[in-house]
Structure 1
Amino acid sequence: MAAKENQERIWELARKWQDDSITEDERKEFNDWYKSFDDTGMPDLLGDSPEALKERMLRSVMKMKSNSDRAAAQTTFFSYRVAAAAIVLLCLSVGAYLFLRPSIKYSAHKIAVIKTDASPGRNKAILTLSNGEKIDLDQAQSGILAREKSAIVKKTKDGRLAYNNTALGAGPNNGEMLYNTVTTPRAGQYQITLSDGSDVWLNACSSISFPLAFGENERQVKISGEVYFEVKKNKHLPFRVISNNQIVEVLGTHFNINAYVDESVVTTTLLEGSVKISQLNQPSAKFLKPGQQSIIQPGKAPINIQQVDTEIAVAWKNGYFRFEHADLQSLMRQFSRWYDVDVSYEGAISDDFFEGQIPRSSKLSEALKILELGDVHFKIKDKKLIVLP
């Protein structure tokens, strides 16, 4: 079985195990996969209750880690494999299990006690109107928030920001295009429906500036941070996104742009349709197909393209942290944005890599307890997350 197909099969079995719909044959298959990571006494999953399994898995992971420390010089792959086994399996079972049953606690001698905590992010953003007025969307009631020329701005009952479709094609006001901006803080996210019917999702620490009414020749917006688009198709009116030295042009498609200034590269991931990628003041351009991701180092050429698992790129929109071969600092930047904490490091920074999935609805302490199984330790003081050696 191909590696990706095998991974997808394991995710499926783990989900079935979570909701108790797994058959005996599937449970045995899941158990065989789990035991295949190492022969150092992995627990048998058959017949275990969730509570008993969680405890046995924790003991085995710690034993595996201890054994791997003694054999660290043998191979770097083994160390990574142990970390992957711990994080993937425990995010699927224990991670989701913590979310479903938050009353279950880890034993203090196994996982360091985290005395303070941070709640996960939620829907909150600031809308800045063309006249400079600011509206706190988290506090605003549903209904009409503003009327600007021919555009009606409203907050829907499900919490989205929506612009009246009749504004499309209205063009600039007396030669001037009027813009609104939506900005999410740390621990915030928000969804917007633009005047052309395109849907936009903003991750934490992100923004989008857009005209109240798109012009007759193009639809253009500017973003920062991370934004997912589902662009309304219009072959006569191209849709352009400008972000951190990059221009993305589409006619109608689904794609994700990660353009955080504290990340070393800008990535654009295509899920559906086709997009054209170029850099500001650069003549060359490349086209993405579904399942591809462009990678740009701002100010540098060329544009690199690679095949990726698109679900990883949009996991944040679907309510998860999802990581594959991710380093610790990358994870901490995501946690900083979503939990509104500052991150600092004491001592050497771990060079381990992590794979897995954690619900973004988890409290910070719950997410950290999972990562601590990879022999990384933390403490939280006020609004600062400190990574310990």
Structure 2
Amino acid sequence: MSQATDPVANLQTLIRCPSVTPQEGGALHALASMLAPMGFEVERMTFTEHGTPDIENLYARIGDGGPHLMFAGHTDVVPVGNEDAWTHAPFGADIVDGVMYGRGAVDMKGGIACFVAAVARYIEKHGAPAGSLSFLITGDEEGPAINGTAKLLQWAADKGERWDACILGEPTNPDTLGDMAKIGRRGSLTGVVTVIGTQGHVAYPHLADNPLRGMTQIAAALFDPPLDAGSDDFQPSNLEITTIDTGNTATNVIPARASAAFNIRFSDHWTVDSLKAEIERRIHAAAEAHGLRPDRASPVRFELEWKSPPSAVFLTRDDTLVSVVRSSIEAVTGRELELSTSGGTSDARYIKDYCPVVEFGLVGKTMHMVDECVDVADLETLTTIYERIIGDWFASRT
């Protein structure tokens, strides 16, 4: 029988694997060593694409029929930054006063460690489930996210894998375990607008066109009016300009071009296509209404580039999955769970195309920070929640 029933030992093993994207660091090997003794068929595959690092991934399954519950996540972690700023070795998994320190403790090796322990305990008590359980684990979530979950899902689907539901173990709780689960995400759309001017000497503005004059008008049009007021399920859509750049280092030269990058996190008032159309309408209107100088009537010349890939807004509407997750969390923690669509994107944006997905994991306050850490007590609580979800979900499907 597997010795993987202890989430603390599981997490220490995983943290001690320095799996900074794109390095596997031994983490997937360690995970395979936990799952194989339970009877999982474990497969490892590496995906490649020109211009991006090769990424190792893992897919493991026990059972050969339905219903089929997937657990998804990633073993890669962000860089540690200045290691001297850490009070505990970032890959040491030290436990001090009931707290385990290490990169990936909450994002998201902790979630993986707990789900492994939950599955091991479930199998130890009940045997293999009346259906199938699988792990879909990538090493590319914190990086380009090109050779990871999206390709792993397609690879598995091409070989005949079908899933009925997924738990994604990202750290979803803002303060206390049992605060929040994610049942959807706003969409994400990124673009770059470039205003084309004419370079010249600042002392002779009549011979030049300053693109920043047009950029200010376009930026104002992007910000106002607000895109929407949100909905029952989603926060209002929000556009932020993240950079404005001319590439000009001289103070006496009018630049030739000015580019602004922007990102929109959008609600279910929009699709990717309808939002693109609205942004293009706003930019065209601003460009037509304003020239680069008050004495010149020509419209602002611009270029618009959409960055790929955008992420569509989605909401999980599987009442069985959502209710099982909610009741399991509330039964174990005694807390009233908030079902949320807040925050950034995650690999749920890929999984939702294959099956309903709910995200629930540890408290995320220290993710990506120096001295990332997790309360050891939370590891046991999350394992108990996951074990209950497994049992209740399969019971609901029979």
State the TM-score, normalized to the length of structure 2. 0.24
If asked which structure has higher relative contact order (CA below 8 Å, sep 6+), I would say 2
Structure number with bigger Rg: 2
Which protein is richer in helix relative to its size? Answer: 2
State the TM-score, normalized to the length of structure 1. 0.25
